[in-house]
Amino acid sequence: MSRSVAEARARARAAVSGGLTPFIPPPLPLPDTRIRRPRLPSKLHHRIIPNPLRPHVLASERLTKWLTPYSIAKLDEASRLFPTHAIIRCHLTMANCVLPSTLSNYSAGLIRFTKFCDDFGIPEEVRMPASDTLLSMFILSRAIGSVSKSTMKTWVEGLRLWHVINDAPWHGGSVLNCTLKVGNRSVF
Instruction: Please give the residue that has the higher pLDDT: either 123 or 38.
Output: 123
Confirm whether 111 is domain-assigned. Answer: yes
Number of domains in the chain: 1
Q: Please check whether residue 126 lies inside any domain of the structure.
A: yes
CA distances from 41 to 38, 63, 110 (A): 10, 18, 14
What's the pLDDT score for residue 12? 63
Is residue 171 situated within a structural domain? Answer: yes
Asked if residue 86 is part of any domain, the answer here is: yes
Does a structural domain hold residue 28?
no
Please report, as a single letter, which amino acid is at residue 62.
R
- Boundaries of domain holding 59: 53-188
Check residue 3 and give its pLDDT. Answer: 57
Separation between Cα atoms, residue 132 and residue 136, nearest integer Å: 6
Render pLDDT for 128-184 as a digit per residue (tens, 0 to 9). 999 999 999 999 988 777 888 888 899 999 999 999 999 999 999 989 988 888 765
